[in-house]
A and B are shown apart, each in its own frame.
Chain A
Amino acid sequence: MPDISSDRSAATPPPRTSVWLGFVAFAAVIFAQTFSILTSPADRDMGHLQKIMYVHVPAAWMTFLAFLVVFVYSMRYLWKQNENDDLLAASAAEVGAVFNGLTLMLGMIWGRPAWGVWWVWDARLTSTLVLFLIFVGYLALRAFVDDSVQRAKWSAAVGAIGAINVPIVYMSVKWWRTLHQPQSSPGTLDPAYTLGLRLNAIALLLVLIYFIRKRYEIARLERAIEDFAQAAAMGGK
């Protein structure tokens, strides 16, 4: 990921996120979903339910990627104390929480017809829910702490520790006996489904990048507005 956090001071908002990136990202999702739905044959065991994989699995991958960004920029904030790193980590955390919630909902919709239940407390589902709750807590923490330096420090600590749960979620289907199937990846899939999964993952990756950039732009604007308000309160300009 390009380093977009150290280009300017936090008080100066970044340039507007390209609208074209958004258009390309959403057009890519429409193309990828249409292609995969029309070209993939019904699975021998799951029938057409298999098509839920094209949204559920990429959403889970984007969750992991977003929380990886949180981890990297939280560690970087703790190291360099650059406020922009904190804002980027927080932006990725919010987007990651959205994808995490989406992954859980899609998994429940897939689980009901496949397993006969909406939810089961197995290792994969439970660890994914714990990951979601950690990052909801992270966002709540940011909302309740007024001092920006304390907020950044505590958030970085929670973000870095919380992201450690990502490899636990990923490996849970290997480490414990679960109802959830092993990880779906191009290496474990029938070749008939590989291209569709890759296309959907790339399309959702573009959406993830667009969302994080846009959220980061807003975070910088809000921070600059806070600076204005503080300067005004202190009798400055």
Chain B
Amino acid sequence: MNVFEMDRNFVIAAYSVMWVVVLGYLVRLIRKGSRARTDYDGMVGANGGEKP
């Protein structure tokens, strides 16, 4: 493997890590948000539409 190919692999690794971390966190936020919103709406519904 020449130096150029090695450099390219590290660049690809860096961008891949960046996207995995950012998209992974995004998915976590969306899932957590959706679950919290469902729980909250359910509690408000069970409370006759009144908020705490």
A→B interface (CB under 8 Å): 11-13, 16-17, 22, 26, 29, 33, 47-49, 51-52, 55-56, 59, 95, 98, 101-102, 105-106, 109-110, 112-113, 207, 211, 214-215, 217-218, 221-222, 224-225, 227-228, 231, 237
Q: Decide: B4 and A102 in contact? CB cutoff 8 A.
A: no
B→A interface (CB under 8 Å): 3-4, 6-8, 10-11, 13-15, 17-18, 21-22, 25-26, 29-30, 32-33, 36-37, 39-40, 43, 47, 50-52
Q: Cα distance A102–B16 when bound, in Å?
A: 11
Q: Decide: B11 and A48 in contact? CB cutoff 8 A.
A: yes
Chain B residues contacting A59 (CB-CB under 8 Å) are: 18
Secondary structure class of chain B's binding surface, majority of residues = helix
List the A residue with the shortest CB-CB distance to B39. Answer: A225
Given contacts A59-B18, A215-B29, A225-B40, 6 further A-B contacts (CB under 8 A): A11-B52, A105-B17, A106-B18, A109-B10, A109-B14, A113-B10
Q: Decide: A47 and B21 in contact? CB cutoff 8 A.
A: no
Q: Decide: B33 and A217 in contact? CB cutoff 8 A.
A: yes
Q: Decide: A48 and B40 in contact? CB cutoff 8 A.
A: no
Q: Cα distance A112–B4 when bound, in Å?
A: 15
From known contacts A12-B51, A225-B40, infer whether A47 and B29 are also in contact, taking CB-CB under 8 Å: no
Q: Decide: A211 and B29 in contact? CB cutoff 8 A.
A: yes
Chain A residues contacting B37 (CB-CB under 8 Å) are: 16, 221
Q: Decide: A98 and B14 in contact? CB cutoff 8 A.
A: no
From known contacts A56-B14, A225-B39, A225-B43, infer whether A207 and B52 are also in contact, taking CB-CB under 8 Å: no
Q: Decide: B18 and A102 in contact? CB cutoff 8 A.
A: yes
CB distance from B9 to the nearest CB of A (A): 9
Chain A residues contacting B13 (CB-CB under 8 Å) are: 109
From known contacts A109-B10, A231-B52, infer whether A211 and B36 are also in contact, taking CB-CB under 8 Å: no
Q: Decide: A228 and B36 in contact? CB cutoff 8 A.
A: no
List the B residue with the shortest CB-CB distance to A11. Answer: B52
From known contacts A113-B6, A113-B7, infer whether A221 and B18 are also in contact, taking CB-CB under 8 Å: no
